[in-house]
Amino acid sequence: MVNPSKARIAVIAMFMLNGGLFGIWASRVPAIRAGLALSYGELGVALLCLGAGAICAFPIAGRVVDQRGAAPVTRALALIYGPALLGIALAVNLWTLGLALFVFGAVHGAMDVAMNGWGAEVERRTARPFMSFFHAMFSLGAGLGALSGWLAASWGISPRLHFLLAGGFLAVVCIRATRIAWQSDRAQPAAGRLFTLPHGPLALVGLVAFCASLGEGAMADWGAIFLREIAGASEGMAALGYAVFSVAMVTVRLIGDQISRYFGTVMAARLGGACSAAGVLMAVLLGSYPAALAGFALMGIGYAVVMPLAFSRAANDPDTSPGRALAGVATLGYGGMLMGPPFLAALAWASSLRISFLIMAVLSLVIVAAAGVLAPANKRPGGRP
């Protein structure tokens, strides 16, 4: 039997690799855009290719995970994730960039499904929650990747050399940590269509993930704009908003598993939803810069535990195979992250930025109301032990 600590380290390494390579890419977006002389519209089209790749990969990854097991699929995807990143730097025009981003997004999304499945296996076999910590390691990896991008840009290193050196080093270190004799669970994939949206209680799990991820996506794309236009912050001060949100989220995710054990899964999710709703209301209703920053911190604290709990619940659904369940919930979750910011933009155009932000408070209250569906199967009426 594999030492549980080695299994946790292996999964941690995969979450850090998944976040780290994504952070490396995200940190060099301005350089990629400048190198290919892309307009903002053209860059937007390229970024849509990344999201489309992830969405297309989710159901395929779910089926393969059920057939082959989460651990071997995660390892295989880790081997091609680095070359997929390098492919972005090798693009010579918008069309090749779009293709490279589609492939990168597909590998990133497929690995997201597989590594969450592996993480859920570690939770089941050790009878302890670790998913929140795993997701914190993704965020930490993304931060380290972004830091490497800042250093590379400061030293005048091209994206191609940066992706090769930083991405290659991170891949080698993380993949070595997965060389353990782990036997993954396998499930017989359901016959019929490759992908269907979750139904029954799993649909509510997807709704909870959608509500949380929409808030995360909105903070990334609209947080600084809110601070500029509503709180009257300077450009430099506005940039601190997402940093405050991210630090708060990572900090809580590091202890999120302890929070879930102490309060229970349902209460932890309800407290998270209530905390994020309070943060939105503080930022919108008070409107000052200090209040907005405090509200952003509360939102980071609140959203931190929700997505890990949703993924853990999906992987342990009593009626759907782990791969299929994770793929469905990931689709709804990433759908919220991708489609949320454009939806808020349309709402802000039709009404105001304050009102569009208040939607996040409403969705946070949906998390509070629907949190009961995140209870483990053996603790729900009719759930299997």
Domain boundary among 141, 176, 211: 176
CB-based contact 319:235 (threshold 8 Å):
no
Which CATH number characterizes residue 291's domain?
A: 1.20.1250.20
Is the residue at 190 inside a domain? no
Cβ-based neighbours of 234, under 8 Å, separated by 6 or more:
228
Q: Does 8 share its domain with 78?
A: yes
Domains: count for the chain: 2
Q: Are residues 295 and 365 in the same domain?
A: yes
pLDDT at 195: 58
Which of 197, 220, 205 has its CA nearest to residue 360?
A: 220
- The whole-number pLDDT of residue 363 equals 95
pLDDT value at position 5?
Answer: 81
The CA-atom distances, in angstroms, between 130 and each of 136, 241, 251, 266 are 10, 28, 15, 16
Q: Are residues 293 and 362 in the same domain?
A: yes
> What size, in residues, is the chain?
385
Q: Within a domain: residue 12?
A: yes
Q: Which among 142, 176, 210 is the end of a domain?
A: 176
181 assigned to some structural domain? no
* Residue 209: C-alpha distances to residues 71, 273, 304 (Å): 23, 11, 11
Whether 282 and 375 map to the same domain: the answer is yes
Q: Pick from 306, 310, 307, 216: which is nearest to 270 by CA?
A: 306
Considering the domain architecture, whether residues 164 and 295 belong to the same structural domain is answered as: no
Range of the domain at 18: 4-176
Write down the pLDDT at residue 111: 95
Q: What parts of the chain have a pLDDT lower than 50?
A: 380-385
* Residue pointed to by tokens 């993954």: 184
Same structural domain for residues 139 and 100? yes
Q: Say if 384 falls within a structural domain.
A: no
> Residue 263: its pLDDT value, please?
93
DSSP 203-270: HHHHHHHHHHHHHHHHHHHHHHHHHHHTS---HHHHHHHHHHHHHHHHHHHHSHHHHHHHH-HHHHHH
Instruction: Please tell me the predicted confidence (pLDDT) of residue 193.
Output: 57
Tens digit of each residue's pLDDT (9 = 90 or more) over 86-109: 999 999 999 999 999 999 999 999
pTM of the predicted protein model: 0.81
In a shared domain, residues 227 and 314: yes
| Burial (CB count within 10 angstroms: exposed 0-12, middle 13-18, buried 19+), residue 272 | buried
Pair 219, 167 in one domain: no
Whether residues 276 and 364 share a domain: the answer is yes
Residue 367 lies in a domain: yes
Please name the residues in contact with 157: beta carbons below 8 A apart, sequence gap of 6 or more: 165
Helix pair angle (131-154, 235-254), 10° resolution: 140
Domain presence at residue 192 = no
Q: Is residue 343 part of a domain?
A: yes
Instruction: Please write the tens of the pLDDT for every residue from 179-217.
Output: 887 887 776 655 555 555 667 788 899 999 999 988 887
CB 357 within 8 A of CB 284: yes
- Gap between the Cα atoms of 76 and 80, Å rounded: 7
User: Do 317 and 279 belong together in one domain?
Assistant: yes
CA–CA distance, 159 with 27 (Å, rounded to integer): 10
- CA distances (Å), origin 259, targets 201, 255, 269: 24, 6, 10
Assess if residue 269 is contained within a domain. yes
- Distance of alpha carbon 172 from alpha carbon 5, whole angstroms: 20
115 contacts 326 by C-beta, under 8 angstroms:
no
Which token pair is 55?
Answer: 């969405």
> Which distant-in-sequence residues (6+ apart) come within 8 Å of 95 by Cβ?
none
Examine the domain organization and report whether 281 and 364 are in the same domain: yes
Of 112, 143, 176, the residue at which a domain comes to its end is: 176
How far apart are the C-alpha atoms of 216 and 344, rounded to whole Å?
Answer: 12
Examine the domain organization and report whether 219 and 320 are in the same domain.
Answer: yes
pLDDT at 207: 92
